[in-house]
Amino acid sequence: MGPVEQIVTDKLVGQFESEVLQVTNESYMHSVPAGSETHFKVVLVTDQFAGQRQVQRHQAIYKLLAEELSGPIHALALHTYSGDEWAEAQGQAPSSPQCRGTKETD
């Protein structure tokens, strides 16, 4: 786990009582230098999200990670669920698409 990924994880753990927290560095899927920490996917399941719209959930995370989003993080894919929604999704968040700028490998 790189330093930016650790900061993101620590901040989310400190703010949310999560049932599931997955912070994934997806930078390798994009046209960035090896070892970059610029593109992340977050899957966060917490009952704190019950009754909130997706936009409210995302705004809370954007506010929490404002410093990282103004600096090292270029893109943040958020998949936020209440416990009931996560059960309905059968414990699966959508896969991230391949970046259009990434070179295909054989």
- Residue 44 maps to which CATH number? 3.30.300.90
Domain that holds residue 71: 3-88
Inside any domain, residue 102? no
Burial class of residue 37, CB neighbours in 10 A (0-12, 13-18, 19+): buried
8 A C-beta contact, residue 21 and residue 83: no
Block residue for tokens 């698409």: 97
Residue 11 pLDDT more than 90?
A: yes
Inside any domain, residue 95? no
Domain count, the chain: 1
Query: pLDDT tens digit string along 39-68?
Result: 899 999 999 999 999 999 999 999 999 999
Cα dist from 58 to 61, 73, 101, whole Å: 5, 15, 26
Total-model pTM: 0.88
Query: Integer distance in angstroms from the first to the last C-alpha of the chain?
Result: 27
Inside any domain, residue 39? yes
Inside any domain, residue 100? no
Average pLDDT for the chain: 90
